[in-house]
Amino acid sequence: MIGDIAIPIRTTTRNKKPEISTADKLAHIHQKQAIRPIIDPEMGSVKFKLPYVFGLEVEFSDDESAMSIIQFNIGDKELAGHGIGSRLLRHAIEYGFENYERLQRLTHASANLALLNTVIKVVGEEYVSVCNRAERYGFGTARPLEDMFQTQPYREEYPYLVDSVEAALDRDAFRARTADI
């Protein structure tokens, strides 16, 4: 995780089933064992969903070496911070490894700190890099990820938003890291 930065959750939220408490929603989500992929042949994407959650949508490059996050939305603000994003991302990467032998990279454009921390939790900080205002930090550079928030000015209109996130995907390291997520 990047530092101890508390970020405001500034997402729009559509509380699915507001009559159900957050605790009951979380209990139902954690009871759900399998997250099955939903393949969208028209869009060429794969979606992963849980109850009360908008979910995660990814697509794979033509050469099958990269998985790009198209959309990642937990939905209710109250559900954020409970490991749901990590669980969805882990399942998406597992699906990629099972179906795309050449998968080596995860990418996403314009990510907030919450998504960046989710990628770090699932993949490992040592495999993650970010680009922000044409500067690259993390994996493959001499600058640690934390330096980004010390060298880049805070932008009020986009708090803790990076231009892109990229992660190298190592099958063995991923499986060892995510055994308990």
The reported pLDDT for the residue numbered 1 is 53
Res 45 pLDDT > 60: yes
- Domain boundary assignment for the chain: 26-177
The reported pLDDT for the residue numbered 162 is 82
Q: How does pLDDT run across 104-138, given as a tens digit for each residue?
A: 999 998 888 888 889 999 999 999 999 987 889 99
Res 16 pLDDT > 80: no
104, two tokens: 């080596």
The packing angle between helices 84-99 and 113-123, to 10°, is 50
DSSP the chain: --TT-----------SSTTS-HHHHHHHHHH-----EEEETTTTEEEE--TT--EEEEEE-TTSSEEEEEEEE--SGGGTTSSHHHHHHHHHHHHHHHH-TT--EEEEEEEEHHHHHHHHHHH-GGGEEEEETTEEEETTSSS-TTHHHHHSPP-TTSTTEEEEEEEE--HHHHHHHTTT-
- In the structure, what pLDDT confidence band is assigned to residue 55 with cuts at 50, 70 and 90? confident
4, two tokens: 């101890």
Tokens 């159900």 locate to: 20
- In the structure, what pLDDT confidence band is assigned to residue 8 with cuts at 50, 70 and 90? very low
Query: Which of 68-82, 84-98, 145-159, 167-181 reaches the highest mean pLDDT?
Result: 84-98
The reported pLDDT for the residue numbered 77 is 75
Q: What's the CATH code, domain 26-177?
A: 3.40.630.30
The reported pLDDT for the residue numbered 140 is 93
Entry pTM: 0.86
User: For all residues of the chain together, what is the average pLDDT?
Assistant: 84
